[in-house]
Amino acid sequence: MADGAGRAEDARQAVSEAAAGLRRGLGVPRARTPGGGGGRLPAVPPTGPGVSGLPGVSGGAASGTSGTLWERVPRVSLDPARLAALRRPAGIVGLAVGVLAAGAAAGVAVERLTVGRSVRRRVRAALDAAAPYGSLRGTPLEVTADDGTPLHVEVDLPGREAPLTVVFCHGYCLEQDSWHYQRAALREDVRMVFWDQRSHGRSGRSATGRISIDLLGDDLRAVLERAAPTGPLVLVGHSMGGMTVMALAARYPELFRERVVGTALVSTTSGNVPSVTLGLPALGAKVLHQFGPGVLRALGRQRGLVERGRRLGGDLVGPILKRYSFASEVDPVLAGFANRMIDATPIDVIGDFYPALLEHDKVHALAGLRPVPTLVMVGREDLMTPAGHGRVVAEEIGGPLASFVEVPDAGHLLMLEHPDEVGIRLARLLRAAWERAVPGVPVPEGVVELAESRTPMERAETEAEADADAGGDPLPAAGHAGRVVHAGRVEHAGRVEHAARAEQDDDEERSRP
């Protein structure tokens, strides 16, 4: 009887969690709970086409494949057409969503008989991915930087004895919520730490006037000492967050010898930022880099006036921000969410950090990442950190454990624009790091399942090969061919090219009027 009662209680909990996820997706308000917080930005519900239409990922799973988690479960929204999509067969996960939703009203017994623990976990992850942007919260933890600046940190699975911890570092003018999809995919299986860089998000304003990437590396060290003081670490950084990881490697190399077992560097650079043209003619880019810091400092002194102008001119600035964030058509709600993160960054903070990006140079630190599995991902159309810069990072790391992935139709916010591509490859990195660091402990089921899924690039390649076998075009369609290589070399369409030359080609192409 006791065992039966326990199973029933487990089922009730699963139904309750699924119902809560559905309420989040439908925008139904619920009572706030301690630590469940709102956040600096309002939660924005994703309202794009079903999960198979995730930003930057068109269509559902390829024929003959099971598809990834996000593609098998439709998004939840108030649109009747999307609600009707919940009733379409979508494999066992789609069935599980229907059963769980019905179970809230029809009873626990049916849910328990139909849905296993693994499926319930996948359903919860899918519902989290469909939750409003900015609504996923962990257990808050306040960390104080060396200079007294308060850093806002959140931990997922804080009470669990963790064989390994994954730490996410966000980019310039963003915040920890930029990792929305990756957080949703892994939060049931892996202990994760998310933090807002100083002067960003929910963290306090910098107590130090002179910002440097080295200072951010020290901040990351403070976060690790407080939120993950022991055990193996995997560090994940996007843009300025990737630079932060490099600064940590340069200033605290013993961490990478003793504790760091994997790194992921997404849309970032090891230096030479003044060479980036930002899609402008070469002369215009040179003028911007030369006079930009001074102009931003002057604007920062008129913060109130400038912020009012930013609010009034949002409709004009929005398309520009979108161009520098994404390279493909994305859900307008996703684009709005990204714009709101950028708009929430005060103009004087933008001005304080910009010179630090121009001065960043951590090429010498990359060799410290060579002994551990490292994933370098870039968007082919990234105007902020061009793909050539990512190739240089991969080339400098080198070794058999480094891999480089160039994603087509992708801009700077790669993890939001192509969440499947990033999520699956990140899961593979975690699996490799886990097996090396804690070989006696099984890799979490959710990580293994995601790692064994095929990415959109891989499915596109399979479809192209099938077309070639059928007598069609033997090469992948333009816009779908990506680059996936190891040990810092770039192979594409039969060519092998050095990263340095690739960087030069990219910058020349960007600088054309």
Report pLDDT digits (tens) over 22-33. 334 434 333 333
Predicted confidence at residue 130, as pLDDT, reads 76
User: Is position 245 within any domain?
Assistant: yes
Report CA-CA distances (Å) from 446 to 135, 186, 327, 451.
21, 7, 30, 8
Q: Is 102 helix (H, G, I), strand (E, B) or coil?
A: helix
What average pLDDT does the segment 115-124 reach? 59
Does residue 496 register a pLDDT over 70? no
Does 258 fall in a domain?
A: yes
Cβ–Cβ under 8 Å, residues 141 and 226: yes
Rounded CA-CA distance 156/183 in Å is 9
pLDDT at 30: 37
Q: Which residues contact 14 (CB under 8 A, 6 or more apart)?
A: 100, 111, 115, 120
pLDDT of amino acid 281? 84
Instruction: Supply the DSSP string of 374-424, one letter for each residue.
Output: EEEEEETT-SSS-HHHHHHHHHHH-STTEEEEEETT--S-HHHHSHHHHHH
Which residue in 294, 511, 471, 297 sits closest to 388, CA to CA?
A: 511
Q: Does residue 44 lie within any of the structural domains?
A: no
- Dihedral, CA atoms, 365, 369, 375, 378, nearest 10 degrees? 10
41 domain-assigned: no
In this model, does residue 246 exceed pLDDT 50? Answer: yes
Number of separate domains in the chain: 1
- Tens of pLDDT, residue by residue over 54-106, are 333 333 333 333 344 444 333 333 344 443 443 443 343 333 333 333 333 33
∠42-43-45 over CA atoms, to 5°?
135
Contact criterion met (CB below 8 Å) for 204 and 212: no
Q: Is residue 181 part of a domain?
A: yes
Angle between helices 314-325 and 332-343 in degrees, nearest 10: 100
Q: Is residue 85 part of a domain?
A: no
Q: What is the CATH number of the domain that holds 257?
A: 3.40.50.1820
Residue 282 clears pLDDT 70, i.e. is over it: yes
The DSSP code sequence of 194-208 is: EEPPTTSTTSPPPS-
Going through 321-373 in order, the beta strands assigned E by DSSP cover none
Reported confidence tier of residue 437, pLDDT bands at 50, 70, 90 = very high
Cα separation, 375 vs 394, whole angstroms: 8
Mean pLDDT score across all residues of the chain: 76
Q: Which domain holds residue 189?
A: 124-274+358-467
DSSP assignments along 207-244, one per residue:
S-SS--HHHHHHHHHHHHHHH--SS-EEEEEETHHHHH
CA 406 – CA 502 distance, rounded (Å)? 12
Phi, psi of 44 (to 5 degrees): -115, 115
Phi and psi at 270, nearest 5°, equal: -95, 0
Cβ-proximal residues to 368 (8 Å cutoff; 6+ apart), any chain: 249, 250, 253, 256
Task: State the Cα–Cα distance between residues 443 and 428, nearest whole angstrom.
Answer: 11
Whether 175 is in a domain gets the answer yes
Two tokens at 347? 């103009």
91 close to 72: Cβ distance less than 8 angstroms: yes
DSSP 444: P
- In angstroms, the CA 259 to CA 437 distance is 9
Mean predicted confidence (pLDDT) in 213-235: 97
Q: Is residue 95 part of a domain?
A: no
